[in-house]
Amino acid sequence: MPARTLREVSIRNLKVFRQHYVSEISGSLGDLGTFLPISIALSVNGTVSLSSTLIFSGLFNILTGLFFGIPLPVQPMKAIAAVAIARSFTHGEIAAAGIFVAVCIFVFSITGILEWFANVIPIPVVKGIQVGAGLSLIISSAGKLLSSLDWISPSWADNLLWALAAFIFLLVTNIYRDVPYALIVFVLGIVFATIRSALAANLPSFHFWSPFVVVPHLEEWRVGALDAGIGQIPLTTLNSIVAVVHLAGDLLPSVRTPSITSIGLSVAGMNLLGCWLGAMPVCHGSGGLAAQYRFGARSGSSVVFLGLFKLVIGVFFGESLVGLLKRFPSALLGVMVIASGLELVSVGESLNTAGARDLGRAEQAFTGLGSMPAISESERKRRWTVMMVTVGLLVGFKNDAIGFVAGMLCHWIYSMPAVNLERFRERWSLTRIWNRRGIRLH
């Protein structure tokens, strides 16, 4: 990045933080609903080092905030994490999975494959991936974090009553957007977790980071790459690179949107560094960006703040935090995840408006052509159908790749010659042109 651009990003970050520091801090905590449960589960299994995960994810938060100037999240690679948790991966196996994905994304980035891929994906499919990811977050929260709760159990600090209170508070903050929802809920959760840890005599203590190097052996490379890495590649490409770039443009149109290649190189670089030292494989994600935006983040200063916070607690407390974080109320985390999902689902609303990138370009193309519409009613229905096919199959099979393939097939079928002719006739009013030339249609 040129020094001038980096300086401009830093100036904007500092300006926004000075004017809206409460919102930026609150927004920085928006993605914890995804980060905490997965990192805790992997740490308890002994699959990753919590210290290394906090330190390196914190470092990457700082770097992405400084370079991109937007609240770009650093969150777990979910497909890898799911397999690693279910099968209790070793340090070497999860490192191999993360490094394998990083190498693939690096090759895709420097060869231009990512840029080509992003250019050929229709906007309805991209929107479908975003909406599907949002619905998946909501379903996951309801099915995992909240389903185990009762009205007054498992504890006074973690039950459905607190979940209901947090959800009502969330609805209120939809009206009063200046209220720092995530900050208030996070502080409340930490207070509850601290009290419960004190009662269990399991408070965190000073525990300085002891770095170590992970070198996977041949069998760990095979298991990590084949059993977890391959399944992560489409998820990272679609949701962590393509969808996040489009979402950044939608949510923050006044800020320079990162390029597909730069986001790809960022994902590759994070894992080529952190995975060798016991950190959790990470990526950027549209869900995390939506969450941080929903809770107030508008610049890179939010994630810089979060990164500094992670670095400090990772270096000085590290593994001793596992007990405290395990006691963070699922009721509060679950509602934060639902809020993130709802924010991501809401981006589908702009599918058929001028806010959609392809329609914005189409509208400009019609400049000077009178009142000719940029999109017909039948085209709106087709675009909506493509998006919903993508959403339905993604959520139904819990697989981004299946949703993507289904959406692309639907788009291609609609793009067949017969359909193109009908759309062409509607948009350009060819009937009148042909009639003037004496050509009759049968």
pTM of the model: 0.79
Does some domain include residue 392?
no
Q: Which residue has the higher pLDDT, 162 or 175?
A: 162
Residue with the bigger pLDDT between 386 and 207: it is 386
Number of domains in the chain: 1
Predicted local distance difference test score (pLDDT) of residue 370: 45
pLDDT at 418: 53
Q: Would strands 282-283 and 75-76 be described as parallel, antiparallel, or unpaired?
A: antiparallel
Question: Could you tell me which residue, 307 or 318, shows the higher pLDDT?
Answer: 307
Compute the mean pLDDT over every residue in the chain, rounded to the nearest whole number.
84
By C-alpha distance, which of 413, 408, 387 is closest to 132? Answer: 387
Residue 105 is assigned to a structural domain of this protein: yes
Asked if the structure places residue 268 within a domain, the reply is: yes
Which SS3 state, helix, strand or coil, does residue 76 take?
strand
DSSP string, 236-250: IIIIIIIHHHHHHHH
Rounded CA separation 123/174 (Å): 27
pLDDT value, residue 357:
63
Q: Which pLDDT score is estimated for 219?
A: 93
Lowest mean pLDDT among 104-108, 278-282, 348-352, 438-442: 438-442
pLDDT in the model for residue 441? 47
Closest CA to 247 of 209, 218, 289, 213: 289
Q: How many residues does the chain have?
A: 442
- Residue at 377 is within a domain: no
Asked if the model's pLDDT at residue 391 lies above 60, the reply is yes
In order of 29, 158, 169, 190, the CA distances from 164 in angstroms are 20, 11, 9, 18
Residue pointed to by tokens 């500092």: 14
Are 81 and 101 within 8 A, CB to CB? no
Residue 422 has pLDDT above 80, yes or no: no
* Residue pLDDT, tens place only, 354-386: 656 666 555 544 444 444 456 778 888 888 998
User: Which residue matches tokens 């928006």?
Assistant: 30
Core vs surface per residue 358-374: b (16+ CB within 10 A) or e? ebbebeeeeeeeeeeeb
Q: Per the domain annotation, does 407 fall within a domain? A: no
On whether residue 395 sits in a domain, the answer given is no
Question: In which band, very low, low, confident or very high, does the pLDDT at 134 lie, cut at 50, 70 and 90?
Answer: confident
Higher pLDDT, residue 409 or 118:
409
pLDDT value of residue 108 = 94
Of the candidates 368, 367, 384, the residue with the CA atom closest to the CA atom of residue 376: 384
What does the pLDDT look like over 18-43, one tens digit per residue? 999 999 999 998 888 778 888 888 88
Q: Is the pLDDT of residue 239 over 50?
A: yes
* pLDDT at residue number 269: 95
| Angle of the 91-110 helix axis to the 260-274 helix axis, nearest 10 | 150
With CA atoms as reference, report the closest residue to 232 among 334, 357, 405, 99: 99
Please identify which residue in the block is written with the tokens 């208030």.
184
- What is the pLDDT at residue 125? 85
Question: For residues 383 and 124, is the Cβ–Cβ distance under 8 A?
Answer: yes
For the segment 185-194, the average pLDDT, to the nearest whole number, is 90
Instruction: Note down the domain range covering 60.
Output: 6-347
Q: Which residues pair with 155 in a beta bridge?
A: 158
- Summarised one tens digit per residue, pLDDT across range 81-124 is 888 887 888 999 999 999 999 999 999 999 999 988 888 888 88
What's the mean pLDDT in 217-241? 87
Residue 431 · residue 441 · CB < 8 Å:
yes
Q: What is the pLDDT of residues 309-341, one digit of tens each?
A: 999 999 998 778 888 888 889 899 888 888 878
Q: Assess if residue 169 is contained within a domain.
A: yes
Paired tokens of 220: 């760990």
Q: Is 355 domain-assigned?
A: no
What pLDDT shows up at residue 423? 58
3-state helix/strand/coil string of 318-362: HHHHHHHHHCCCHHHHHHHHHHHHHHHHHHHHHCCCCCCHHHHHH
Tokens at residue 290, please? 């939506």
pLDDT reading at 342 higher than 90: no
